[in-house]
Amino acid sequence: MSEYRLEMHNVVKTFPGVKALDGAQLNLRPGTVHALMGENGAGKSTLMKCMFGIYHMDEGEVIYEGEKVQIKGPLDALNRGIAMVHQELQPIPERSIGENIYVGRYPLKKLGPLTVIDHDKMYEDAARVLEEVHLNFDPKAKLGSLSVSQMQLVEIAKAVSADCKVLILDEPTSSLTAAEVEALFTIINELRSKGVSIVYISHKMDEILRISDEVTIMRDGQYIGTWSAKGLTTDFIITKMVGRELSELYPVRENVPGEVVFEVEDFTSINPKSFRHVTFQLKKGEILGVAGLVGAQRTELMEGLFGLRNHTDGRITYKGQEIKIAQPKDAINSGIAMLTEDRRATGILGVLSIADNVSIASLNQYLIGGFMLDDGKIEKLVQENVAKLSIKTPSSKTQIQSLSGGNQQKVLISRWLANSPDVFIMDEPTRGIDVGAKYEIYCIIAEMAKQGKSIIMISSEMSELIGMSDRIMVMCDGRVTGFIDGKEANQENIMALATQFE
Amino acid sequence: MEKSLNMKKIVSNNAIIILIVLLAILTGCTTQNFFTVTNFKNLVVNVSPRFIIACGVSGCLITKGTDLSAGRAVGLAACLSAMMLQSLDYSARMLPWMPDIPWPVALIVVMAIMGCFGGVNGVVISVLKVPPFIATLGMQTIIYGLCSLITNNQPMGGYKPSYLTVASGSLGPIPYLMLFAVVIGIYFWFLYNKTRHGKYMYAIGGNENAAQVAGVNVRGSLIRIYILAGCMYALAGFLVGAKAGGASTATGNGYELEAIAACTIGGVSANGGVGKVGGILIGVLVFEILKICLQFLGVDPAYTYIAQGLVIVIAVALDLRKYLQKK
């Protein structure tokens, strides 16, 4: 038997238009925590989904406990002792915790001629695994009654209940508080001492350096290397992840913040757990970064400002005049644009053409006689934007869903630029976009600011915030906890404000 | 190689249409009087009202909704038209006090009334957020009840000659019914391709949340779509009544399913955001040609229903397959 529990060699996986994995590999030793690192879109999650059988790889092999295996699907993976906690939870909130843990592999018993679910055994077993992950919950409670972080722990309990030998944790701490992270680390250490191999995906350097034994770095779907975690530095990891020196990551910004154009005072959600008493100012030509942990209500605040969520209190002043925003249309008419966080869910019109996607928010500008659309004008607008933002597309009639993430994002930016907004809210503008396209998006943002547009940029990537913002607003648990000048910002002072819980 | 692949794709994407054309050729070769002017006219007058209904329901389908009240709405519209347009000297007039009114006025009144029913559908769906399937199922039953109530469950006839001419007359060789369908077809083509309303409709069908973020008035658009649908059922009901020379509560029964099926065969996707007027016309034609062919071949009407049902399921399965392939 080899020294590794699981090996993946030369994995290739192609999606329409993208080579997500191109010669990726991973070697897991028993009883270790193995960090898998790389930028968004580097292929970490894809590689793990190949290991877990959600995706089938085009090329490559998996050797599990010395044997070449083919993992047919998640159930097959679970039966072999490979479990995965997904980045995006897939809970069934209306069912009990116990059922969520055992869904798809319920314990069965005979009831006369029928085979039925053994509920008593299921809940007993569930109670035991919950105890193992230090969760004090009634397994019969509805999963929906838990918080997001508690649901995450239930997911881990689910993995533990499968008696796994390999456990994949895909960004497990992204929605956890510091105390919850400690609890998770205790569980991870216990599992490690039992000999479980743990794949740990995270963006948080300090966590990686603390918990992991080995680090594998990926970039653009390729294997970069594996190092022992001891003695690694953050700078070394980032340089390997990005593939170039840090100083070249962001464009030089030539924007000069001017007078205040946009003011928000005492802005409060109708939901008491969401954003409250938010006050900030935005200057002409300024890039205002918005930092915070998951659950800090940054997205909710911006959606509130854009009229997608209701607020009770608060004033929005735009160029000295108070404006009322009850729905997105009001915000758009006032000259505000918003790039939403989830491109697929609230951004692209998937089956529609590039032309339709670019023009949809500004159709009023292309009317002949007040009712008929001028196709020529629309085509001209699309061609201008395709050229200006270098959108790679076969034609303006191509469906937007067939483009890569970066090009989709550029189409959405064009949609808003057609309205010449003065305030542009961008929620995670580079999420799920490859490194090259990211840089192009940064250049577009910098250029917009230079032209005097004011930009609000939410980002969960610390380096992006520090590299792009003139000023950073930090939120914690629905409140603004402080502002930091872009030049003075660093990981420590942002995190200090981002964790200022009441 | 490339070409043969394309051929394969064209065949698999249009399997149903190709089958029907083959069936028509087969029928034409094995029976008499199939490829005749009379039969063609018969096809045209059958297709026209159904195409108008399908146009109405297409907006609902493109926005990921549906309208199950279409058929009963056609029936109510036919009955309302009948009540207003019976001959003054007809002994069994439903409304003896009704004065002699020109048919265009009656048509406008019926369209206004049915537009209101459509508006209610639109409000229930877009404001109260009742799933379209349920909302329009309820409306279907309500309309049927109302129709029974106002007609006392009595069939009506004895129409004014001018009303009957709307269906029987023709401009040269072209039946009036076809002219109505052509005008509606052009109107919908323009609406879907050249106006904001059309673009918003496709956007809502493509991704309702994204459309809202882009500033589309989702509620208003949906309500307009359902109102327009109601107006189309009214026009179709008016024409169906004229064509049959009478109306009853049974008029229009099941038309909604035919219309939805025709749209789907014609490429209006059950996943929303996709659908063209030309496709809807082809869908309706396929359905009617199938019916006429089976009639000519002397197939038992019971089998005709079975064949229609199969065509609906196969068409939707083929449509969804296109999307599954893309994943």
DSSP label at residue A168: E
Amino acid letter, residue A412: L
B6 is a domain residue: no
Q: What is the pLDDT of residue B1?
A: 40
DSSP label at residue B272: S
DSSP string, A136-166: ---TTSBGGGS-HHHHHHHHHHHHHHTT-SE
Q: pLDDT by residue (tens digit) across A342-363?
A: 888 899 998 999 999 999 999 9
CA atoms within 13 A on the CB side of A462: 16
B228 is a domain residue: yes
What fold, for A249-335+421-502? Rossmann fold (3.40.50)
CA–CA min distance A174, chain B (Å):
25
Q: pLDDT by residue (tens digit) across A167-181?
A: 999 887 766 777 778
Comparing CA positions, the residue from A494, A461, A407 lying closest to residue A39 is A461
Cβ distance A352 to B203 less than 8 Å, yes or no, reads yes
B301 is a domain residue: no
Kindly report the CATH class assigned to A6-244. alpha beta
Cβ atoms < 10 Å from Cβ of A421: 21
Q: pLDDT by residue (tens digit) across B258-298?
A: 999 899 888 898 788 999 999 999 999 988 999 899 988 88
B326 is a domain residue: no
Cβ distance B210 to A346 less than 8 Å, yes or no, reads yes
Q: pLDDT by residue (tens digit) across A4-38?
A: 999 999 999 987 656 789 999 999 999 999 999 88
CB proximity B8 to A under 8 Å: no
Q: What is the pLDDT of residue A246?
A: 59
Tokens, residue A22: 């191109």
CB proximity A338 to B under 8 Å: yes
ipTM, interface predicted TM-score of the complex: 0.87
CB proximity B209 to A under 8 Å: yes
Cβ distance B195 to A371 less than 8 Å, yes or no, reads yes
Residues of the domain holding B275? 49-287
| Residue of A54, A352, A417 for testing the chain B interface, max B β-carbons within 10 Å | A352
Q: What is the pLDDT of residue B139?
A: 97
CB proximity B269 to A under 8 Å: yes
Among chain A residues, the shortest Cα distance to B213 is held by: A328
Average pLDDT, integer, range A129-142? 85
Amino acid letter, residue A470: D
CB proximity B127 to A under 8 Å: no
Q: Measure the CA–CA gap between A451 and A454, rounded to whole angstroms.
A: 9
Tokens, residue B224: 């307009």
Long-range pairs of A241-250 with CB within 8 A, sequence gap ≥ 24: A241/A37, A241/A38, A241/A39, A241/A42, A241/A217, A242/A39, A242/A435, A243/A219, A243/A435, A246/A463, A249/A439, A249/A463, A249/A467, A250/A439, A250/A442, A250/A464, A250/A467, A250/A468
How large a percentage of chain A has pLDDT more than 70?
96
Chain A residues whose beta carbon lies within 8 Å of the beta carbon of residue B195 = 371-373
CB proximity B212 to A under 8 Å: yes
| Runs of H (alpha helix) within B31-97 | 37-62, 70-84
| Runs of H (alpha helix) within A229-374 | 234-242, 298-305, 328-333, 343-346, 354-359
CA A341, A343, A345, A349 torsion-angle sign: positive
CA–CA min distance B209, chain A (Å):
5
Q: Which of B194, B202, B217 sits opposite A373 (nearest CB)?
A: B194
CB proximity B325 to A under 8 Å: no
Residue A487 C-alpha from the chain's centroid? 26
Chain B residues whose beta carbon lies within 8 Å of the beta carbon of residue A367 = 196
Q: Which of A346, A364, A372 sits opposite B213 (nearest CB)?
A: A346
CA–CA min distance A474, chain B (Å):
25
CB proximity B215 to A under 8 Å: yes
Q: pLDDT by residue (tens digit) across A50-74?
A: 999 988 889 999 999 989 999 998 8
Helix or strand holding residue A13 (H, E): strand A6-15
Cβ distance B195 to A415 less than 8 Å, yes or no, reads no
Q: What is the pLDDT of residue B326?
A: 45
| Residue of A308, A360, A403 for testing the chain B interface, max B β-carbons within 10 Å | A360
Cβ distance A348 to B207 less than 8 Å, yes or no, reads yes
Q: Are B216 and A360 in contact (CB under 8 A)?
A: yes
| Residue of B190, B213, B269, B327 for testing the chain A interface, max A β-carbons within 10 Å | B213
Q: What is the pLDDT of residue B315?
A: 77
Cβ distance A360 to B203 less than 8 Å, yes or no, reads yes
Chain A residues whose beta carbon lies within 8 Å of the beta carbon of residue B272 = 351
Cβ distance B213 to A328 less than 8 Å, yes or no, reads yes
Comparing CA positions, the residue from A486, A464, A461, A454 lying closest to residue A473 is A486
Comparing CA positions, the residue from B126, B144, B145, B124 lying closest to residue B135 is B124
At A245, the pLDDT band (50, 70, 90 cuts) reads low
Q: Measure the CA–CA gap between A397 and A402, rounded to whole angstroms.
A: 11
Q: How many CB pairs under 8 A join A and B?
A: 75
CA–CA min distance B179, chain A (Å):
24
Chain A residues whose beta carbon lies within 8 Å of the beta carbon of residue B326 = 16
Chain A residues whose beta carbon lies within 8 Å of the beta carbon of residue B61 = none
CA–CA min distance B320, chain A (Å):
14
Among chain A residues, the shortest Cα distance to B197 is held by: A371
CB proximity A305 to B under 8 Å: no
pLDDT averages per 10-residue partition of chain B, 327 residues: 63 79 90 88 94 97 96 97 93 89 96 98 97 96 96 94 94 93 97 96 95 95 98 98 95 92 87 92 92 90 88 78 55
CB proximity B213 to A under 8 Å: yes
CB proximity B199 to A under 8 Å: yes
* Contacts with B192 (C-beta within 8 Å, 6 or more apart), sequence order: B198, B201, B202, B275, B276, B277
Q: What is the domain partition of chain A in residue ranges?
A: 6-244, 249-335+421-502, 346-420
CB proximity B195 to A under 8 Å: yes
Helices B176-194 and B37-62, interaxial angle, to 10°? Answer: 30
Q: Which of B196, B206, B212 sits opposite A351 (nearest CB)?
A: B206
CB proximity A308 to B under 8 Å: yes
Q: What is the pLDDT of residue A247?
A: 64
Among chain B residues, the shortest Cα distance to A356 is held by: B199
B20 is a domain residue: no
Chain B residues whose beta carbon lies within 8 Å of the beta carbon of residue A375 = 194
Q: Which of B202, B206, B217 sits opposite A329 (nearest CB)?
A: B217
